[in-house]
C-alpha cells in the first residue's frame, strides 16, 4: 500500500479516474468538466475593466473556482504527504532563481500568456475540449485537440531546443 501511494500511478489508473470527473461533475452540479474557464471567471471577479467578455455574473460559475482551488490543495497534499519524489518542473528554468533568466521568463511568462490567451480563444483546454468535448463527440473539440498538438509539437521540436540549448 505504501509502495502504491509513493510510486507514480500508471496511465490505466490515472486516465479512468480523470475520465470519471466528467460524470461526477454532471451529477453533482450539472456542470460540464473544464478548467480554463476559471481564468475568465477570475478576470471577471478581479478586474472586469468594463470589457464585454467579463461582463456576466461570474458568481453563477463559482463552482469552477472551488474546483481549481481543490486542485491546488490536492497538489499540495500530494507533494507534502503522499510523497512525490520526482520533480514536476525543470527547476533550472521554472524554479527559483532560474525563472528570472530569459529562458525561465520565456517559459513561465511567455508560456503562461499563451495558455491563458489560447485556451480562452479556443473555448477550452485539454480538459474541456480533449477529454470532455471528445467524449461527447463534439466536432469543434476535435479541431481544438488537433490544434493543441500542432502547437505543442511545433514548440517542442522547433523552439524548446533553442531555449534549453540542447535536445532537452
CA atoms within 13 A on the CB side of 55: 4
Minimum distance, C-beta of residue 136 to other proteins, in the bound complex (Å): 5
Between 57 and 139, CB nearer to other proteins:
139
56 counts as binding other proteins under rule CB under 8 A = no
15 counts as binding other proteins under rule CB under 8 A = yes
CA 92/CA 95 separation, integer angstroms: 6
CA 140/CA 87 separation, integer angstroms: 35
Is the link from the previous residue into 27 a cis peptide, with omega within 30 of 0? no
102 counts as binding other proteins under rule CB under 8 A = no
Name which position in 2, 27, 162, 165 contacts other proteins (CB under 8 A): 27
Name which position in 2, 3, 12, 57 contacts other proteins (CB under 8 A): 12
Name which position in 2, 3, 35, 166 contacts other proteins (CB under 8 A): 35
45 counts as binding other proteins under rule CB under 8 A = no
CB-CB neighbours of 93 under 10 Å: 19
Name which position in 92, 101, 102, 135 contacts other proteins (CB under 8 A): 135
Name which position in 110, 162, 165, 166 contacts other proteins (CB under 8 A): 110
59 counts as binding other proteins under rule CB under 8 A = no
CA atoms within 13 A on the CB side of 134: 12
Rounded (5°) CA angle 24-17-88: 120
Minimum distance, C-beta of residue 153 to other proteins, in the bound complex (Å): 6
What does the longest C-alpha to C-alpha distance in the chain come to?
A: 53
Amino acid at each position: 500500500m505504501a509502495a502504491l501511494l509513493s510510486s507514480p500511478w500508471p496511465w490505466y489508473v490515472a486516465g479512468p479516474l480523470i475520465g470519471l470527473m466528467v460524470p461526477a461533475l454532471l451529477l453533482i452540479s450539472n456542470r460540464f468538466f473544464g478548467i480554463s474557464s476559471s481564468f475568465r471567471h477570475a478576470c471577471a471577479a478581479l478586474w472586469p475593466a468594463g470589457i464585454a467578455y467579463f461582463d456576466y455574473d461570474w458568481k453563477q460559475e463559482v463552482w469552477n473556482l472551488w474546483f481549481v482551488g481543490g486542485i491546488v490543495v490536492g497538489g499540495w497534499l500530494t507533494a507534502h504527504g503522499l510523497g512525490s519524489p520526482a520533480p514536476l518542473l525543470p527547476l533550472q528554468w521554472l524554479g527559483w532563481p532560474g525563472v528570472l533568466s530569459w529562458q525561465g521568463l520565456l517559459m513561465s511568462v511567455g508560456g503562461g500568456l499563451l495558455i491563458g490567451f489560447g485556451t480562452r480563444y479556443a473555448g477550452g483546454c485539454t480538459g474541456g475540449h480533449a477529454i470532455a468535448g471528445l467524449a461527447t463527440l463534439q466536432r469543434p473539440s476535435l479541431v481544438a485537440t488537433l490544434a493543441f498538438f500542432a502547437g505543442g509539437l511545433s514548440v517542442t521540436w522547433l523552439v524548446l531546443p533553442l531555449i534549453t540549448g540542447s535536445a532537452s
